[in-house]
Chain A
Amino acid sequence: MTFDFWTNIIEGQVMLSLLLWASILIVVMYIARQPAHQIILVLARSLRNALRLMAQSVMLAEKQLRSRNREVLMAQGQEHAERFIEREFQRVETLVNRDLSGYPSLQRDLKEQITRIDEDYVQSSEVPPKPPEWLKAIEAVANIPDNGSPVVAKILNDIHTTLKKALEKDLQEYRLANRNRHGLLKKMMPYWRSLTSSLNSVERKITGLEQRSIIIDSQMQSYEDIRNHGAYAERMLSSSSLTQFFISGLALCLAIIGMYVNFQLVALPMEEMVGAASYLGSSNIRASDISALFIISIEVILGLFLMDAIGITRLFPVIHLLDDHKRKMIFWIMLSFLFIFASIEASLAYMRDMLASDREALSQLLTGVEVAEPPLRWIPSLGQMIMGFILPFVLTFVAIPLESFIHSSRTVSGLFIVWVLHMLVVFIRFIANLIFGIGRMLISFYDLIIFIPLKIESSFKQKNDDKKEEKISGALTHQQETDEGK
């Protein structure tokens, strides 16, 4: 049925034909008004309910994911706190082993020093000089009245002289003894100082331990908070995780730039080894590029193993669980390999410089331009070699941001998915309400199309209602009059 069929139902009268069809449509729509309204409403409600159900299930998934994120976050935080506490205990152990292992010898030294000081003290004690035995005899003689006798006076003078001499001698002996005592006390001085120094050293060590114990206490507090799934701990861990994600992401970006520089150093000389025209399968990827990428990847992997062997990262639990001897062995093996690769890369960098020079010379020959050899040409060559040697070692440190990135990305990706699910819930709810609104709007639009018959219907209804009201009021009036007549 073409458009002409609809417009030519009355021959040659397009407008009239369309009007006829419109009238038929309006009549049909008016007749089917109630069921049409019901269909639209049921459809809109069903869609809204279905979408609400969908939103609820997405919300449930979001809730579960949120809970999983929380668990992951707490587990990571717990692991981190355990590692921190473990490290602090290792430091305490080192302190105890280093400082307090010498404690018995220190105690022995202190005892020896105290014994010496004690001996010197005993020796330096002052013994008061005994009074001479004959002092009483002299006193008795001195009390003898002289009665002017020259003999007695002479005897007394002799006694006085003798006594004076004896006293001078005693005084000298006493001074000598005192000097000896002072000498002994002077000898005690270094022992005192040594003793003070030993005690200060003990004090310092004890203070260091005390500080470590304060840090451990603080970490234990955080650890307990994490174990109790505290809200504060969750907020802190979440914030820390986001920070870690962005910082490690930035560090990885820088590392990738470093890898690109490394790649540029290696790619050209690799063409010389594997050929510039070798490609990977039917693709456009050069085999030399893949080889260069492979060398750099190997260096990065060696760096990861090296960092795990030292214990800085824990990307490979197998390495971490090995005993110290084996880990040390792995460390030396990885370091040797890295050294070999760094040497290879340095030589490749030198070869790159040679090839670039050769290419430049050919280019000059082809263009017919003669350019003099620049002075100090060896500096860039040497620089490239050094870079080629150092970069593999620098790339080993990629392991640290990589580990942080992997750990934090679990949390961050979880948070991102939660956000996406939340937005999805909002969107589904919006769509549900929109569909219901559209359903109601369609009903109104439906009524708008058939507004003429609806208007006619309402005016008929109005008239009928008026008539009924008149009848009722007439009957009531008649009843009232009858009642009044009675």
Chain B
Amino acid sequence: MTWSDVFSFEDYGELLVLMQNPLIAAISLGLVGGLAGVFIMQRDMAFAVHGISELSFAGAALALLLGGSVVFGSLAGAIVAALIIGLLGARARDRNSIVGVLMPFGLGLGILFISMYNGRSANRFSLLTGQIVAVSDTDLAWLIGICLVVLVGLIVLWNPLRFDSLDPQAAEARGIPVQGLSIAFMLLLGAIVAAAVHIIGALLVMALLVTPAAAAMRVSHGPVAVPVLSAVFGLVSAVGGILLAIAGTLPVSPYITTISFLIYLVCRVIAGSRTRAVHMRVK
């Protein structure tokens, strides 16, 4: 393989037109995933996201096997997993053990369904590692719908969810329905995970749901700056990944994960140099 295989900007314009659906999907998922990530980090749910994505994979694989809608399958799997984790794992410790138990089970089920599936083999592993290139019009409508529902849900719940995530004792004392809120958040989380599984694959969802928020929280603490930065980071990773992948022969997912990882690294370096600067001033 030579560089010209990896990157070639001939016919880029035409390819861009062909990639219209994936780009729209990436924009919605990057933005909404980045926003959801802020709450995922604040509620310490990165591991739960991973668990939900494996059950979402199982659901999608079952849909593939039965010839149903893959988006619907991944959505059903993710929401079932999110509800189980939300209902049984109110505390962080319980939650981690439940996720640890669910995750291999989901992955195993998914592998079983995929090995029973006789269709095109290209579809098989795309569920694990991403299939953004193959977003059909129907898929796109589903994905945009899911992203919109999650966006509206997050906006409506924003302040109480923030209160409960950051200061749960006081939030309960102030009468916030913390249990209902937690379940509502799990439903939104399940939905956005299902969308992400469909785009970048079950194994890589964290790159769009966790990394952008983790990066944003390194460089800011503000209640507006963090969600804005996180959404921008998610958008840049998702769209940037596609734009780079169009020019070459490599799949999209590694580009997305690498960009989001690099953003995180840069944010860490910025945060580190700031801390050093503060120490210098103190001395």
Answer yes or no: do A and B interact. no
Taking Cβ atoms with an 8 Å cutoff, the residues of A that contact B are none
